[in-house]
Structure 1
Amino acid sequence: MAGQKLYPRATVKKIVKAHSNRNLTKNADVMIFLDYMLFMQTLMKEAAVEAKKGGERSVTARSVKKVTADALAKFRG
């Protein structure tokens, strides 16, 4: 597992630079990726709760759509 990359750092840096016209500091891309992963974890947990409340057996697109706005609001800075 040593040396295995979790995500393409250069791609994340290019995307952020394209949207903001700014360079990133050395480890800013790592923080962006971690924040993204926390957001996805929160989104899926809330969607699972919503699906269970709706009587669904698994998480569906509908349950994700219902909780997306609330999850995004939690991650706005």
Structure 2
Amino acid sequence: MGAAFYPRATVKRITKAHTNRPLSKNVDILIFLDYMLFMQDLVREAQIYSRQRGERGISARAVRRVREGSLRKFRG
């Protein structure tokens, strides 16, 4: 398999530090993919929010406004 597009060792280390459970071999990949889906949803919702208000681009304000909704969608 080729080089990862993200730092696998870092994701594993962070995950291990925040859990007291054994991790499966590829859990870091699933975590990263879930993170990417969350970010995609957050940007999409912020873009919609910005367009509805006539803004040209996505602002930090738009991201803050839609953040809670996106977090709720991805809560486990």
TM-score normalised by length of structure 1? 0.92
The code of the aligned residue for 1:39 comes to F
- Give secondary structure in 1 for the equivalent of 2:50: helix
What runs of 5+ residues in structure 1 fail to find an aligned partner? Answer: none
User: Which 5+ residue runs of structure 2 have no aligned equivalent?
Assistant: none
Q: CA RMSD in A?
A: 1.2
Q: Residue 12 of structure 1 aligns with which residue?
A: 11
Residue in 2 that maps onto 1:50? 49
Matched residue SS, 1:52: helix
Per-residue deviation, 1:70: 0.2
How much does 1:55 deviate? 1.1
Give identity over the alignment, percent: 57
1:67 is matched with 66
What residue in structure 2 maps to residue 37 of structure 1?
A: 36
* Separation in 2, partners of 1:71, 1:20: 23
TM-score of the two chains, using structure 2 as the length reference: 0.93
Runs of 4+ in 1 over 4 A off after TM superposition: none
Q: CA deviation at 1:3?
A: 2.2
Equivalent residue letter for 1:36: Y
